[in-house]
Structure formats: structure tokens, C-alpha cells
Structure 1
Amino acid sequence: MPKQPFPKNVPALTHKLMALYGLPHLIHSMVILPLVLFIPSYYADDLGLPLASVGMAIAISRLLDVFTDPIMGILSDRWHTRWGRRKPWLVLGTPSLILSTWMVFVPSGKVSVVYLFIWTSLLFLSFDIFDLPYKAWGAELSTDYKERSRVAAWREAFGASGHIIFLLILMVMGFWGYHGNREQLLVIALIICICLPLFVVLAVAKVPERPPEQLHGQSHLGWTGMKLVFRNNAFIRTLIALVLFGTGLMIQATLHKMVLKHVVGRPELFSSMILAETIVSLLALPLWVWFSDRIGKHRALAFAGLWIGLWGLALPLVGYGDIELYVTLIVFRGSSIAAIIFLSNSIAADVIDHDTVASGHQRTGFYFSLWGMAIKMAIGLGVFLGTSLPAHFGFDPSVASHSPVTEFALMRIYGWLPFFIMLLAFPLLWNYPITREKQQELRAQIDARRK
């Protein structure tokens, strides 16, 4: 079935437009990565707050999104302006995202757990105002099964490139003797505050937004429309899979720096290790796109999650000084991280086609808000488990040395627990109900009923 063209007033989707759409993610992606990799360690190690309390504050601030995400998704779907439904929210969300990022990354004066909770809550809210319409905009740029993967891959390629630039800057800072969390977070915050507005303006000015799809026939909104959401088998499967994948990934991300410092004994190599992992993940993107074209996006996503979990099984073998083994495991493990992100977003667009046929309305923002809630809950759960479980087994990052029993417990939580959590997603994705053929059938129904 040929790709459906844009309406007459919207230019065809090209690689240039995909690149311009993905450009803000070069900076936008820098917001959450430090929040996972640096903030728990910074507020616990440098600022002296209890590790478990730091994890709890971040986790609870994430749970507030249960209320704000659906509201943001509905507003994004229903707020029609001359500039579109999605673009105005990016413009509105950028200033508050910049402010809250600065307050979390560059705290001043007396800092408490309450301070961290308030500003991380505002940061997550601002991120929602920006991120949900941005992802919905990308999902609506194409109606083609394979091309949707490429739109998401372009965005995630920019996100990975942003991580690489960020890590290279940290390495240069380390070369000049700036190894502390405080200096590193200051530089990250400056980059975000200066560059994000420029890239948002460029994307909003150059990339089109497709008009919303409304279908002839019976339509369902309100409570009737909500019931359709939870009858959508494909949506329920992706929701659960995202929670499982996100939790496993965040457990390991939260503990990376602590493991390097307290188990391997080489904390100065943190930036280099994450840089190598990110580069490999970026280089592997074309392979995962090719793989998904051959076996389907859902099965490629299942393999991507299983790939990460399998490499994590060997992490408890790592001990003091085993830097080569440790970095090798992390780099190979991370080669599918970007694939998980772009494949999930591409599959999400197909799920929305199913809902458009059932409800008569294109509710992309609402669906992405529900997936966003799941991802944030997974991040909060992953940070909570990654901080509270090691603490339960006696691990304290403020202590210089730990017993072998405590270190082994830490490494089992770090390596084995994510594998078993992510393994649960495999059967949900393997026989997924929306294949390429099914998505083409859905698009044919949408085109036949489009007003």
C-alpha cells in the first residue's frame, strides 16, 4: 500500500524535515539524563541529603504526573490554533523548563529534600508541557508504518548526539581538573538555557504540522472514549512493556556512578564509559531500523529489551579494578537503548491509528500522556528501587568501603533485577496485535472515513 501523502497545503516529509523536527531533542534530551545519572549522587554525596530520601523525593514528584499528564494530553489534542495543536505548547513550555532545570541543577543557599521535591515536580511538569506535544507532533508527521520508525529514529539520533556532546564537554572539563558534580551540572544547565530556545524556534518555524484527522460516522469522547482506551489491547500491552523496560533501565542508570566509584574503583571514567555506550547505541540505530523492517517493530523491540537484560546478567562478576570487563558489558548492553526508545514511539503511532478508527478522533496527545505517565512512573520506581534496595542491604554511598556481602547484593540489584523485570515484557510484545499489514488496514479505514 503506498504512503498516504500530506494534505495539499503540507509539504511532503523529507529527511531535511525529519532532521529539523529532531533538532530540539539535541538539547531537550539533556534534561532527564543528568536527573538520573547525576542528581541522586549530587544531592546525596555532595549536599549531604539521605540517599533514600533523595530517591523518595524524585519518585513522588514523578507520581504527581498521574494527574497532570492526561490534562496536558487532552489540552494538546483539543486546543486548535492558527499555528496548530502541538507547536504552541513547545513555545509555552520552553521558559518554565529552562527555569526549573536551572533550579534543580544549580541549587543555591540551604538545600533540603523539600526543595528538591518542589523543583523536580515543576521540572517534570514543564517537561510534560514540552515533551507530550513534541512526541505527538512527531507521531503525526507520517502515516506510513516504516516511515514512522524513521521519524522517531531521527529524533533519537539527535538525542543520542546530544548525550555525546554533553559527555564530551564533561570529559574536557575533567581534563582541566573539573570533576565535581557541581561544576558539571552548571555547564549542562547553561547549555540547556542557551541552546534549547534557538532550536525550538527553528523547528517550529520550518516543520509542518498535519491537521487533525476526524472521521465520518459515530465518534466517542468523554467516558465512552475512555473505555475504548482500556479495551485497546495493543495499548495495554505497550503500556505494561514500557513500565517494565523503563524500570529496569532506571535501576541501572541510577547505580552506574555508584558502582564505578564503590565497586570498580574508577569513578573518573564515568563520562568516558557513558560516552562509549551512547556512541555505540547511535551507531547501532540503522541496524535496529533494518531489523525492525524485517521482523516487525514489536519483535525488534522485544529483542532490544532482552539484549540489555542478558548483558546485565554478567555484571555481578565485576569486582574492584575490573574496568575492561565492566565497560565492555555496559557498552554492549547499551547498544539497544536508542532502539527501545524509537521503536516504542513508532509503535505508539500505530496504536493511535487503532483508536482513531474506534473513536473517530485522533487523540495522539492523550495517548502519549498515558504512555508518558507510565514512563515517568517507571523512572520513579527505578530510582526508588535503585536507591532503597541497596540501602536496605546496607549500602551507604557516604562510606568509603563496604563488605563483600554488601557489594554483591548491590551488584545483583544492579545486574540481575533489571533482567528479570525486562524479561516479563517479552511475551507481551512477541505476538503483538498490530503488524504492518494490520496498520495498513487501519490506515485504509481512516482514509475512507476521513472528513
Structure 2
Amino acid sequence: MNTAAASGAALLDQPGGWTHGVRYGLLGLPLAFAALPLYVLWPNHFAREHGVSLAALGAVLLGARLFDAFIDPLIGRWCDATFRRSVVGVLWLGALASAVLALGFVALFFPPAALGASAALLAWAVAGLLLTYTAYSVVSVAHQSWGAMLGGTEAQRARVVAWREALGLVGVVLAAVLPSLAGLGVAATVFALLLAVGCWAWSSALRPVPDAAARAEPLASVWAPLRQPAFARLLGVFLVNGIASAVPATLVLFFVQDQLQAPAAMEPAFLGTYFLCAAASMPVWLRVVAHMGLARAWRLGMGLSVLVFVWAAFLGPGDAWAFLGVCALSGLALGADLAVPGALLAGLVGDMGERGRGEGRYFGWWNFAAKLNLALAAGLALPLLGWWGYAPGQRDAQALTALTWAYCILPCVLKLVAAAALQHFIIHKEPRS
């Protein structure tokens, strides 16, 4: 293990170590802030404000998101090369990509009025999406790789990831409320300021020590992580578990509106409770990791999630307050999904002798899988719902049964598959720190 990097991670456990966590993790806040508007709000805004057809918009989004997912491994290789040259160079790369991200964000939400609803507007959208998605991926992969290079014990790696993800959850909550309360112009300004502050804090964070003996890798090395059986197994668990989490995220509003028939005013409370409980659970999961290890803690979180969603299957009209409890408990389970997998990957990279030389390639494929989760969740859950007889607004028994199976039972099955794979492929082979 890289001794300098490991000692850096250990500083997070010392008195006052929270300052190191904030300096590294703060950039996670604006990155998470950007994700919600870019992936959720922008399509609806663009269609409504500019009269773009849903068919055209769908084609644009499909192409841009496929491009976004498939470039991540290449971006990871680029980040590895930058780390080999200079850690300071990584900071400059992150700052430049952050500036491009902020400009792309503004360009997407505020296109020139002269473009109207013409083909030029769609071309503007395509260019803006490709630029913004690429910049977002560069910053994300570089930032994640930096944290992984710090190394340390299981508990220390989990602490590094937890700071990044907990601050990211704050960004998600802020992005959920700020555009509706203050408008998109204010949200864009706040986002740019948060990016600047996040980059400044990152520049004073604990610095990893890349492997000085690492050599430049050929382009074909981008595929090397997939040839590592241990990584392929972990990536498979991450993918199945991620789909299990993304399916209810895709269907939650359908469930709230048609199965629970809850007041629209409660919808922000459901989402806010979910994310706030996830953030609040981070210290708890860090203690669990210290007690039982990363993989076992993750499996415990999967089990909690299954228990919660089995309970949700019995809810119906008028059970909005009970569903608030589901949101709180599933938020607690989400904390494990956020704090553990990235720390497991960081440890795996070290175990394979790649610390300080290959983090970017591994996190490139990791982000590819995370984005694929969202696409597969929509591609799996929505067609199944239609096949089972549900359409938005339908409240007959058959339609609601289909919705309940897709929202509650399908994720439980997938979580159990992921937990079994984790038990079989990882926990039995897991070295204890």
C-alpha cells in the first residue's frame, strides 16, 4: 500500500479530521446539485418552454446519454495519465472542466431566443448536452479517483466516500427546492458559485501520492479492469443493486399519485425525507463498517431495503404518512449504498496493486455502470408496467397490482440477487483489515 496516501486517509480519523473531509467532499455538493436539473428538470423544461416534440427530445437524450456513458472509461484513462504527470495538473483539469460545466448548464437552460423552435435549437441542445455531460464526467471521475488514491483501512476509505456522498445529498436536496423557490436563474448562479467553492476546497484537500513508477498505458488498457475477475464480480453486484434502487426512483411518483393517492403537496416531503435520512445515516454506517467490514455492512443495507419495500407493498390510498416512514427507512438503507461500494472499489484497486496508477480506469467503468443503471431501470420497469396493464392515472385493481409489483416487489427480488452475489463472490473472499 502507498504509505503516504494511507497516512493521509488516516488523518480523517483524527480530531479535527472533519475539516479534511469537508475540503475533499465539498465538490460532491455542486456535482450532485447539477445532476438533478440536468437529468430530471431539463427535459421537461426544454419541451414546455421551447415547444420541442417529445420524439425529437427523446432521440437527442438517448444519443447524448449513450455517449455520456461510453466515454467514461476513456475519461478515466485520461485522468490516470494526468495523475501520473502531476496532482496539481488534476486540480487544473478539474477547475477547467468545472468552468465548462457551469457554462454548459447555463447554455442548456437559457438558449439564445433567436433560435426559436428550429432545428438549430436542437443542434444547440445536442452540443450543450455533449459538452456538459463530458465536463461533468471529467470532474466526477477525477474527484472519485483522488479519494480512492488516499487508501487507508476499510473504515477510513468509507469515511472518505461518506463525506463526498453526504455533501452530495445536501446538493440533491438543494437542487430539489431552489429552482422552484427562486427560479432557474438563481439556481444557475448558485451552482456556479458552489462549483468555484468546491474546487477551491479541493485544492487544499489531502493530496494522494500517485505511483511514481507507473508508466503510460496503451489505449487498449481501458479494457483492463473488465479482465480482472474480482472487479467484474463487484461491478456485477453494483449493477444489479443499482437497478434495484433505480426502479423505485423511476416509479415513485406513479406510486404516490395512483396507489397512495397522496396530496401533491406531500411529494416534496417524501423526497426530502428520503435524502435527508440518507445523509443522517452516514455516521451510523461508518460505525457499522468499523464493526463488521464493508461488504457485510452493504449486505445489511440491502436487507433493510428489502424489509422496507415488502412493507410498502401493503400500503394503499390514505397511507401517505406510513409511506413517509418508508421513505425514512429506505433513506437509511440508501446510506449504505452510498458509503460502501466506492470504498470497496478503492480497496480492490489497492489489493490488485493498482493504487496510484489505475483508479481513473476503474472509476470510469464504475460511472459507466451507474449511468447504465438508470437506463436499464427505465427500460425494464416501464415496459413491464405497460405489459402488466398499468398506465398513468389508472386506478383499477389490476393496474394498481401491477404498479405495486413493479415498485415494491421487483426491487426486492433484484436486491436479494445482489445480496446473494455479494455473499458468494465477495464476503467469503473478503480480507479483513
- Could you say what secondary structure the match of 1:191 adopts? helix
- Whether contact under 8 Å (1:152, 1:345) holds in the other structure is yes
Residue number in structure 1 paired with 2:98: 94
Deviation at 1:150, TM superposition (A): 0.7
1:378-389 map, 5 Å: 378-389=373-384
Deviation at 1:10, TM superposition (A): 11
Deviation at 1:326, TM superposition (A): 2.0
Deviation at 1:347, TM superposition (A): 0.7
Is 2:187 aligned against 1:230? no
Q: Deviations over 1:184-211 (max 9, x none)?
A: x55543421332123212322x124222
Residue number in structure 2 paired with 1:133: 142
Farther off after superposition, 242-251 or 129-138:
242-251
Gaps of 5+ in 2: none
Equivalent-residue separation in structure 1 for 2:59 and 2:317 (angstroms) = 29
Is 2:295 aligned against 1:298? yes
Equivalent-residue separation in structure 1 for 2:109 and 2:51 (angstroms) = 15
From 5, 28, 39, give the equivalent of 1:25: 28
Residue number in structure 2 paired with 1:213: 211
Give the 3 Å change call, closer, same or farther, for CA 193–8 of structure 1 in structure 2.
Answer: closer
Deviation at 1:370, TM superposition (A): 0.9
1:24-423 map, 5 Å: 24-35=27-38, 37-39=40-42, 58-79=61-82, 80-105=84-109, 109-110=116-117, 119-167=128-176, 169=178, 173=181, 183=183, 187-204=186-203, 206-214=204-212, 221-222=217-218, 229-263=225-259, 264-356=261-353, 362-393=357-388, 395-397=390-392, 402-423=395-416
Q: Deviations over 1:92-128 (max 9, x none)?
A: 2112222333344556743999676664444322211
Equivalent-residue separation in structure 1 for 2:7 and 2:380 (angstroms) = 51
Gaps of 5+ in 1: 441-451
Structure with the higher helix share, 1 or 2: 2
- Could you say what secondary structure the match of 2:33 adopts? coil
- Whether contact under 8 Å (2:305, 2:333) holds in the other structure is yes
Give the 3 Å change call, closer, same or farther, for CA 110–391 of structure 1 in structure 2.
Answer: farther
Give the 3 Å change call, closer, same or farther, for CA 203–83 of structure 1 in structure 2.
Answer: same
TM-score with structure 2 length normalisation?
A: 0.83
Amino acid aligned to 1:429: L
- Could you say what secondary structure the match of 2:431 adopts? helix
Equivalent-residue separation in structure 2 for 1:57 and 1:225 (angstroms) = 30
Deviation at 1:67, TM superposition (A): 3.5
Identity of aligned residues (%): 22
Give the 3 Å change call, closer, same or farther, for CA 351–9 of structure 1 in structure 2.
Answer: closer
Amino acid aligned to 1:405: Q
Q: Give the aligned length.
A: 422
Give the 3 Å change call, closer, same or farther, for CA 9–32 of structure 1 in structure 2.
Answer: closer
TM-score with structure 1 length normalisation?
A: 0.80
Which structure 1 residue ranges, 4+ long, deviate > 6 Å from structure 2? 7-11, 43-56, 434-437
Amino acid aligned to 1:90: G
RMSD of the alignment, in Å? Answer: 3.7
Give the 3 Å change call, closer, same or farther, for CA 169–8 of structure 1 in structure 2.
Answer: closer
Deviation at 1:427, TM superposition (A): 2.2
Give the 3 Å change call, closer, same or farther, for CA 230–97 of structure 1 in structure 2.
Answer: same
Residue number in structure 2 paired with 1:447: none
